[in-house]
Amino acid sequence: MRWKNRNIRAIADMICGNVDHFPYRTGRLITEFFEDCGLDLRHDGRTRRDWVARRLTEVLAAQTRPDLLPDAFASILRNLLDRAEAEPDDPDRSAALAALNAVLQTEGWVASYDAAGVPHLRCMDAPQLQQLDQLADYLDRCSEDEFIETVLLPIFRHLGFQRVTATGHREGSGIWQGRVDEADPADAACAVFRHSGEKGPHRCRRQQPSRCQQHWRGSESGADDAGA
């Protein structure tokens, strides 16, 4: 079984720490990383990512079934998610997990943590793989406006932005969002975030406009809010 080269390079970047949420590793630390996986692979001073990618390709060459990873490669992925390696901005490694899964899922695999924080790997079933293929096909052919209407707007509404409309794809346009905060009904009358080409402050109708999460550029004087 052969994995896509871009996915192998992406995992190599994570091992090297060339991307966010993964610790940076020198050549010596890369050697130690593989030692922790039970592999006698010693970095020889060449470009780190290219060297690691070649080693990953060699390890994956032992894969004979699409639903079964070589033990060595599974060990590498689990070690990559070791919570002892957490970065300060990602203490539970949820961001690292999401980054790795973005790569693994295109190969039909998904990683997760159990209740004890131990990482596990599983092969995705056929319906899940079909859904991913359909999503990839849609993203390849959809326009920006279609993506906004069918993907972004439903996500914003699910997050609580009830009054959301797409203004179309033109210079200075974007999405109006009015978030309804159940803890503060006054938010229902307030467009908390506005992406627009218009100048001037955002009009806040709340009794305490200073609490509004974001004011539009030009509201430094506060004149508009004071009269609202």
Burial class (CB in 10 A: 0-12, 13-18, 19+), 121: middle
* β-strand pairing of 175-177 with 119-123: unpaired
Burial class (CB in 10 A: 0-12, 13-18, 19+), 85: middle
Where do the domains of the chain lie? 5-128, 143-226
**What does the pLDDT read at residue 214?**
42
Written as six digits, the tokens of 42 are 């010693």
Pairwise CA distance, residues 3 & 60, whole Å: 8
Mean residue pLDDT of the chain comes to 76
Pairwise CA distance, residues 146 & 80, whole Å: 37
Tokens 């070791």 appear where? 82
Max avg pLDDT among 66-70, 83-87, 192-196, 219-223: 83-87
**What does the pLDDT read at residue 59?**
96
Where residue 128 falls among pLDDT bands split at 50, 70, 90? low
Where residue 151 falls among pLDDT bands split at 50, 70, 90? confident
The residues near 227 (Cβ < 8 Å, ≥ 6 apart) are none
Is the pLDDT at 86 greater than 80? The verdict is yes
Where residue 204 falls among pLDDT bands split at 50, 70, 90? very low
**What does the pLDDT read at residue 162?**
65
Please state the rounded mean pLDDT for residues 154-161: 78
* Residue pair 61/98 in contact by the 8 Å Cβ criterion: no
Is the pLDDT at 164 greater than 90? The verdict is no
What percent of the chain stands above pLDDT 70?
Answer: 65
SS3 154: helix
Pairwise CA distance, residues 130 & 113, whole Å: 24
